Amino acid sequence: MRPNTLLSFQLLLSIFAIYSMLENIINYHLIVPLFCMVAMFFVGRYEGEKRQKISEQVHNQRKELATA
């Protein structure tokens, strides 16, 4: 996956959530923006874990090279 794919997906979800909130003022239609915000949370969490795992791998590789 390209680095900006998840960020672009989050941006799309946020735009859709804001548009849905502006178009549907009635309370029971606000479930769609809520699901968009929850999806944004989980995508951001996945992206953070992925970046942390990559940085740990790079750190371990540098550590192995330093000891060799």
**Cβ atoms 26, 10 nearer than 8 A:** no
Q: Is pLDDT at 47 greater than 70 in this prediction?
A: yes
pLDDT value at residue 3: 66
Q: Is pLDDT at 58 greater than 70 in this prediction?
A: yes
- Secondary element (H or E) of residue 4: none
Question: Mind listing the pLDDT tens digit for each residue in 2-36?
Answer: 667 877 888 888 888 788 777 766 666 667 777 87
pLDDT value at residue 51: 81
Domain boundaries, the chain: 5-67
The torsion angle over the Cα atoms of residues 19, 27, 36 and 15, rounded to 10 degrees, is 10
Cα(7)–Cα(13) distance, rounded to whole angstroms?
A: 10
Cα(42)–Cα(56) distance, rounded to whole angstroms?
A: 21
pLDDT value at residue 27: 61
pLDDT value at residue 21: 75
**Cβ atoms 48, 8 nearer than 8 A:** no
